[in-house]
Amino acid sequence: MNSIKDTEVKEEIKEELSTETKESSSTTIRLLLVEDSPQHQQLIQDALMRSTLMKMNITTAGSGEEGLELLEKNQYDVILLNYSLPHMNGLEFLWNMRKRELNIPTIMITGHGNEQVAVQAMKMGISDYVNKDGDYLNKLDMIIQRALERHELKRQQEELRQRTAYINVRLQQEKRKLENIISAIGAGLIIVDRNYRITWSNRTMEEWFKTDSDIKGMPCYVLFKRGSSNCDKCMMRATFETGVIQRVRHSLINHDGERKHYQLTTTPLMDVNGDIVQVLCLVQDITQQVSMQLKVIQTGKLAAIGELASGLAHQLNNPLVGVLNYVQLLQRRISKDDPNRELLDTVERGALQCRDIVKNLLNFSRPHHFNFELLDLQVVIDNTLVLIENTLKVENIKIIRDPSQPLPPIEGNMTQIQQVFLNLMMNSRHAMPGGGEIRISADTVHDPDDHQDYVVVKFADSGHGIPKSIIDKIFDPFFTTKDKEYGTGLGLSIAHGIIKAHNGKIKVESEEGKGATFMIYFPIAHSKDGF
Ligand SMILES: Nc1ncnc2c1ncn2[C@@H]1O[C@H](COP(=O)(O)OP(=O)(O)OP(=O)(O)O)[C@@H](O)[C@H]1O
Ligand SMILES: [Mg+2]
């Protein structure tokens, strides 16, 4: 990055200027003498040629007009100007010089009693004036030298002013560039002083941590912990005391009610003596990273549970088959009127129930082992409703089926998809403890994002809805808002897994207090034979 050190540049300029002055002092001074009296011309020339202070090259002009003409053609270092000239007096000459933007040090020679003229001439920018008294010729070279030095000093000052103005503009540009970079880095930045007060923050920080009062001036522990004093393991204090960079993770609920995770990194900022006077804190939003990590952990847990379930199911399967076989053998041996027959039938029902549970466990743990067939989703919905309709009716939940055109087939596993629909309807049921309705519709859609045609099935309930703060988490394994006896938090994550195995997708729309709608998309099967 281009950065200009102000003091360094000023030093450089000073050096440059002083060399220029040294050079000019050793060269011949080009002087223009505007004087109408030849006698005075001669006297002045003689006096200046005798000077030991400087070497001079003198050109004379007998009138103001001639002087201006010479100025147009030649370069002069200094002008010696008599005030009393015919046609054009000294002031008019000065005015003409100004009009032509000629900036040459000029010394005016005035007669006795002309001080007022001299004051006016000074206002017009002459370097000095001299009265034609007895001794003036001997002082002339010194006056010229002084005028030259003053003029040079003025020139240097002006140059310095211009360069400083230029440097200031560049500094402002650099500052703006830096500010833009700082606000575009996608991370928060704050600077904290020794009293833990925030002395500066970037725009990102102000957007992330919206507060009623200004962040600047606020103690860092109020901003991050809403505390009233320093945190127990204060990373700012550690950085002030040790000068070592500190890194911690911190989570908080933001102004929208969402939990956010941040990584804070503190770096010491030192003054010219090497003392730590402030601490810079970099604030990175790692919420997505943390939730990904959690997902990975939870998916791992789910996989482990799946393994366990499938192992258990396999081990239970063999003895169960034995129990069923023997029960059925006994049923054949015992007559229908035998009082023990009813007991045996109950055992058989129990064993059959266990066999279904084992089968389901195996299905859950290995969804990809299922056979896929062409399915009409209306039929799958019908079959699912047969299983759950009664339960819903008892709880005052009405099912409304929106009419639809015949649907194209999809490729899938009936039991698995039923499982998904059941999970969704069970969730709706729990969201409507006082009753309500579930509206079911099915249609075809084209998704322009992946250019696929889908059959979409919608389940819209009139329940309590899903708060914005948790809607991103409901598909996470084990995420539940229900008591332990009602929910394990696996329903939607299993549904999600099954839909993924069908190359489909699931979406949710909900507003707290206004129900929830789940949409499940299944790719339309491209079968040559159809049904
Ligand atoms: N229709 C819905 N209305 C309101 N909230 C819902 C709805 N469906 C899901 N949720 C929310 O999503 C959470 C997760 O749902 P999920 O089905 O994964 O688990 P669960 O129902 O809590 O437990 P499980 O399904 O394992 O018995 C629920 O606890 C609930 O907070
Ligand atoms: Mg559920």
Residue-level pLDDT at 246: 93
Please give the distance, rounded to the nearest whole angstrom, from the Cα atom of residue 433 to the centre of ligand 2. 14
Long-range contacts of 210-214 (CB under 8 A, 24+ apart): 210/255, 211/255
Per the domain annotation, does 341 fall within a domain?
A: yes
**Residue 265 near residue 235, CB atoms below 8 Å:** no
Residue 158's contacts (CB-CB under 8 Å, 6 or more residues apart) are none
Supply the Cα-derived Rg of the chain in whole angstroms.
48
Q: What share of the chain in percent tops pLDDT 90?
A: 53
pLDDT computed for residue 349 by the predictor: 86
User: Which of 285, 320, 345 is the endpoint of a domain?
Assistant: 285
**Of 285, 302, 319, which marks where a domain is finished?**
285
Ligand 1 contacts CB of residue 466 (under 6 A):
yes
Q: Please name which of 436, 419, 429 lies closest in space to residue 482, comparing C-alpha atoms.
A: 429
Does 31 share its domain with 118? Answer: yes
- Strands 373-375 and 410-412 come out as antiparallel
**pLDDT winner (highest mean) among 190-199, 344-353, 362-371:** 190-199
How many folded domains does the chain comprise?
4
CATH assignment of the domain containing 49: 3.40.50.2300
Residue 419 and residue 321 share a domain: no
CATH number at residue 437: 3.30.565.10
Q: What integer best gives the mean pLDDT of the chain?
A: 86
Distance 17 CA to ligand 1 centre (A): 80
Instruction: Please enumerate in sequence order all residues whose Cβ is within 8 A of that of 233, keeping only pairs 6 or more positions apart, or say none.
Output: 248
Cβ-contact 355, 314 below 8 angstroms: no
| Structural domain includes residue 173 | no
Q: What is the CATH number of the domain that holds 263?
A: 3.30.450.20
How far, in Å, CA of 482 to CA of 294, rounded? 20
In the prediction, which pLDDT does 278 show? 96
Residues 95 and 517: their CA atoms lie apart, in Å, by 88
Q: Would 1 be classed as within a structural domain?
A: no
User: Is 178 domain-assigned?
Assistant: no
Least confident window among 196-205, 310-319, 448-457: 310-319
Span 140-192, pLDDT tens digits = 999 999 999 999 999 999 999 999 999 999 999 999 998 888 888 889 999 99
* Within-domain flag for 171: no
Residues 262 and 409 grouped into a single domain:
no
CATH code: domain of residue 303: 1.10.287.130
Structure tokens at 362: 């195996």
State if residue 479 touches ligand 1 by the CB under 6 angstroms criterion. yes
Q: What is the pLDDT of residues 32-80, one digit of tens each?
A: 999 999 999 999 999 999 988 999 999 999 999 999 999 999 999 999 9
Per DSSP bridges, beta strands 436-447 and 452-461 are antiparallel
Structure confidence at residue 356 as a pLDDT band (50, 70, 90): confident
Determine the number of helices (DSSP H) and then strands (DSSP E) in the chain.
Answer: 14, 17
pLDDT digits over 368-386, tens only? 556 889 999 999 999 899 8
202 CA distance to ligand 1 middle (Å)? 40
- C-alpha–C-alpha distance, residues 457 and 118, integer Å: 101
Helix, strand, coil share (%) of the chain residues, nearest 5: 50, 20, 30
Same domain, 271 and 304: no
- pLDDT the model gives residue 443: 95
pLDDT recorded at residue 352: 85
Rounded Cα–Cα distance for residues 140 and 35 (Å): 15
Mean pLDDT of 282-308: 76
Domain boundary among 264, 285, 306: 285
CB of 476 within 6 A of ligand 1: the answer is no
What's the pLDDT at 39?
Answer: 93
Q: Residue 224 sits in which domain range? A: 187-285
Highest mean pLDDT among 311-325, 341-355, 453-467: 453-467
Q: Which residue's alpha carbon is nearest to atom 28 within ligand 1?
A: 480
Q: Say if residue 281 is in the same domain as residue 296.
A: no
- How much is the pLDDT for 4? 44
CA angle 154, 61, 139 (to 5 degrees): 55
Does 42 share its domain with 130? yes
Q: Ligand 1: which residue has its CA nearest to atom 31? A: 481
CB 505 within 8 A of CB 459: no
Separation of alpha carbons 312 and 314, rounded Å:
5
pLDDT of residue 299: 62
* pLDDT of the residue at 390: 85
What's the rounded mean pLDDT across residues 446-455?
89
Nearest ligand, measured from the Cα of 508 = 1
User: Could you read off the pLDDT of 222-244 as tens digits, one per residue?
Assistant: 988 888 888 888 999 999 999 99
Distance 394 CA to ligand 1 centre (A): 21
Q: Helices marked H in 334-413 — which ranges?
A: 340-365, 377-394
Tens digit of pLDDT for each residue in 245-276? Answer: 999 988 888 777 778 899 999 999 999 999 99
**Residue 29, ligand 1, Cβ within 6 A:** no
Return the residue whose CA atom lies nearest to atom 11 of ligand 1: 474
On whether both 323 and 382 belong to a single domain, the answer is no
Same domain flag for 130 and 23: yes
Does the pLDDT at position 494 exceed 60? yes
Q: Is residue 172 part of a domain?
A: no
Residues 459 and 313 occupy one common structural domain = no
Does residue 100 sit in the same domain as residue 219? no
Question: Which ligand 1 atom sits closest to the C-alpha of 489?
Answer: 19
Per-residue confidence (pLDDT) for residue 531, from 0 to 100: 39
- Residue 177 covered by a domain: no
In a domain, residue 505? The reply is yes
- Looking at the structure, tell me whether residues 52 and 198 fall in a common domain: no
Residues 122 and 57 in one domain: yes
